[in-house]
Structure 1
Amino acid sequence: MKIGKSFIPISVVALMLAACNQSSSAEKEPTLLRLGHIQSESNAWHKGSLRFAELVNEKTEGSVKVEVYPSSTLGADRDLVEGMQIGSVDFALVAGVMSNFHEPYSILELPYLFEDLDHLEEFVYGEDGKRLQNETLEETGVRGLEFWLRGPRELTTNKLVESPEDLRGTKIRVPNIEASVEGWKAMGASPTPMNFGEVYSSLQTGVIDAQENPIEFTASARIHEVQDYLVMTDHVFGYVQLLMSEKTFEDLTESERGAVLEAAEEARMYQNEIVFSEEEAALQLMVDEGVEVIEVDQEPFRDAVQDVNERLADKYGRDLYDTIQSMRE
C-alpha cells in the first residue's frame, strides 16, 4: 500500500500535542494581583501583607502572585475600597472607613464599645463577625477575608491632656467616620476628618494639634516627631480587614480561591503574633525619642461618649450594638 506524503502516525501526533501542551503550560504567565494599604513598610500591616503574598505564591505554585503597595501608593482607604468594587485593586487592608460603604461598621468604631482585646476577638472571630462580612459582600462587592488585630487607639497631642476638659479647643485629626467625629466632639475636642497621609505635615504646620491611632501605627509614621504627649485613652479596640475584590475572586480558579483563603488565614495568625510585640518596641522608641506618656482615668472619657453611642446605635444597628454589649456579661 502506498502511503501519502501527508501521513503522520497517530503516536507522533500525540507526542506533538503533549509537547505543545507542556510548552503552553510552561509559558503561561502568572496572574498578578495588587494589594494596597496606607501604612509604611516598617508597619506590621506591611509585614503581614508580604507574608500573605508569599503564602499565595507558595499555595498556588506560582500561578498567582501578589504585589504589595504600601504608604497609600494605590490611594487612601476610600480609594482602595472603590478600586476593589470596580476591580482595579485586588486586595486592600482597610479599617473603619468601611463604615462609609456598609453602615453597620460604624458600630465597631464607637469609642469604648469594646471592653478590651478579648472582647473584640470574641466578636470578630465569632459568627457575628462572619455575618457582618457576608452582608458587606452582598452590599458592596468586596469580600472580607480576615480580621487582623491592632493595638488600642491612643491620643497624641502637643499639650497636656488628663481629662475631657483639657481637650477643649484641640483640633484633632480623625478618620472620616461619624462615630469618630461625634465621639471626639462629645469628649470636648474639635475633630477634623483627614486622610492619614496628610497628618504629619498638618501637625507640623499647626493645621491640627492632635491625632489618635494605635501606638505602632503612630510610631511607624514618625508622628511622634511632631507630638509631645502620648495619652493612654484606649478609646477604641480596633481591627483592620484584609479585603478582596469579588470580581478578582471570581476570576480565579477554584483551587486558586482555596489557596487565597488559606493564605489569608495564615497571614492573619502571623500578623496577630507580631503586632503587639512591635507595639511594645514602638512605645519604647517613642519614649526614647522624647514623648511623654500620660496615664489617665478613662472613666470620664467613657462617660462623655455614652449618649453619642446610644444615638448612633439606633442609627446604624441597635441589634449589633446590643449583641456586642451582651458579650460583656
Structure 2
Amino acid sequence: MRTPQQSSRPAPRTPRLTALGAAAAIPALALTGCGGNADADPEALSLTLAHSYNDGQPMVDCGVSTIEEEVNGADAGLAIETYGASSLGGDTDRIADVASGDIDIDIQGASALGSVYEPISVFDAAYAFDDVEHLSAFMASGASDEVITDFYETTGIHTLGAWSAGSRHFTANDPIRQPADLSGLQIRFPASPQYLMNAEALGADATEVAFEEIYLSLQQGAVDGQENPTNIIAADNIDEVQDYVSLTAHQQNTNLVIIGSVWDELDDEQQEVLTAAVDQAVDQVTECIADQEEEILDEWRSAGSPEVVDDVDVDAFRDQAFSYLEESFDEESLAVFEAIRGEGE
C-alpha cells in the first residue's frame, strides 16, 4: 500500500462521477498519494476513503487495508482510494466533506462525530462500554438502531460499522489506582466536549494540549499525565517520559466507518461487498489491537519501565463516572447511554 502523506485533495465532484469518469480519475488520484488500488478494475466506481491514522497503526494495517483488499478484489465494480494521515483535512472538515459528497467514506471517532450529532459522542463516554465485546454486542443488536438511524436522519451519513481503537488508560509519574489519585494532577485530554466531560466524570483536572505536543509537555512538566490506548502510548514514546501506566480502561476510543450519499448509488451487490469488507475489518482491527496491547504490556512488564499498574479500582472510577454522566447528559444523550448500558448488563 502506498503511503498517503500528501495533502492534495480530489476535486469536488458535481455531479457524481460516472464509472467512465471514475476510471479516468484513478491515475490522477494515484499520483496524490492514495493507496491500495493497483489491481482494481479500471472501470470501477472509485470511492474515496479518508482517515487520520498513519501507516503502521492497527487501524490502517488491519482495518483500512482489509477494506481495500476485500472491496478491490471483489469484482463488484468498486475501487477504494485511500487518503490517510488527515491528508484530506482534520476531523471536522472531513465530516463536512462526507456530508457534502466530496469524500465518500471516512473513519471518525465518535466524539468528533458529536459535532454534527451530539448523542453519537456518547459512544466515547467514560465506561459507556465495558470492553470491546460490549461495543460489538451493542452494534450488532437492535439497541443501537435508534441512535444510528437518528444520526443518519440528522446528517445524511450512514454507519457501516464501528470498532474500538483501543482502551484508554492513564499515564503519570505516580500510580493512579482510584479517583482520589487524580487530585492535584494536570492531565492532558483531547479538546472535544465528550472527552472533557469524561475528565470531569473521572475526577481529573483536564488540560488541553495538542496531540503533537504531548511528549514535550510531559517531558517539561507542563502537564503531569495523559490518557491514550497502549498502542498510542508506545508509538509516540510517551512511556519514555512517564513512570506509570495505570490500566483504567475508562474509554473504548470508538471509531465509526461512515459513508455519505454515494451509498444510495450502489447496487445491492456493491452494498453487500462494502458492508462485508467493513465487518471483516472490524474483526481484524479488534484482534490486532488486542494482540498488540498484550505484546506492549508484556514488554513494559519485562523491562519494569514504565510500571504497569494492574490493581486499579475500576468499580470506583465507573461508579463516579456514571453518577456524573447521568446527571450531566441531556435527554437524548442519556437515552443513548442507557441503551448502551442496558446491552452491557
Same-fold call, TM cutoff 0.5: yes
Q: Structure 1 residue 312 and structure 2 residue 334: aligned?
A: no
CA shift, 1:241, in A, is 1.2
Q: Count matched residues.
A: 302
In our comparison, the structure showing a higher alpha carbon Rg is 1
Q: Spell out structure 1 runs of 4+ moving beyond 6 A.
A: none
Trace 1:7-86 onto structure 2 (pairs within 5 A).
29-47=43-61, 48-60=63-75, 63-86=77-100
Q: 1:297 maps to what in 2?
A: 313
Matched, 1:323 2:342: no
Provide structure 2 residue ranges, at least 5 long, that are not aligned to the other structure: 1-23, 25-40
Residue 296 of structure 2, aligned match among 276, 282, 296: 282
After superposition, the Cα gap between the structure-2 partners of 1:118 and 1:251, relative to the gap in structure 1 and judged at 3 Å, is: closer
Q: TM-score, normalised by structure 2?
A: 0.76
Moved more, 137-146 or 208-217: 208-217
Query: Is the CA contact 2:72–2:79 (under 8 Å) kept in the aligned structure 1?
Result: yes
Residue 204 (structure 2) aligned to one of 189, 192, 208: 189
CA distance in 2, matches of 1:136, 1:240: 15
Tell me how far 1:229 sits from its aligned partner.
1.6
State the alpha-carbon separation in 2 of the partners of residues 36 and 285 from structure 1.
32
1:243 deviates by 1.3
Aligned 1:1-329 pairs, distance under 5 A: 29-47=43-61, 48-60=63-75, 63-96=77-110, 97-194=112-209, 196-246=211-261, 248-287=262-301, 290-295=305-310, 296-329=312-345
Q: Is the Cα–Cα contact under 8 Å of residues 107 and 312 in structure 1 kept in the other structure?
A: no
CA distance in 1, matches of 2:85, 2:243: 24
Aligned residue for 1:327, secondary structure, equals helix
Shift of 1:277: 1.2
| CA distance 1:256–1:150, shift in 2 (3 Å) | same
**CA deviation vs aligned residue, 1:87-128 (integer Å, no higher than 9, x gap):** 232222212222222121233222123334433332122112
1:157 deviation in Å? 1.9
Q: State how far apart, in whole Å, the 2-side matches of 1:270 and 1:55 are.
A: 12
Cα gap change, 1:219/1:74 in structure 2, threshold over 3 Å: closer, same or farther? farther
In 2, Cα distance between the equivalents of 1:67 and 1:282?
Answer: 31
Separation (CA, whole Å) in 2 of partners of 1:28 and 1:225: 47
What amino acid is aligned across from residue 297 of structure 2 in structure 1? L
When residues 60 and 257 of structure 1 are mapped into structure 2, their CA distance, relative to the original with a 3 A threshold, is farther
Structure 1 vs Structure 2 CA RMSD? 2.8
The code of the aligned residue for 1:263 comes to A
Q: CA deviation at 1:201?
A: 4.4
Q: Percent identity?
A: 28
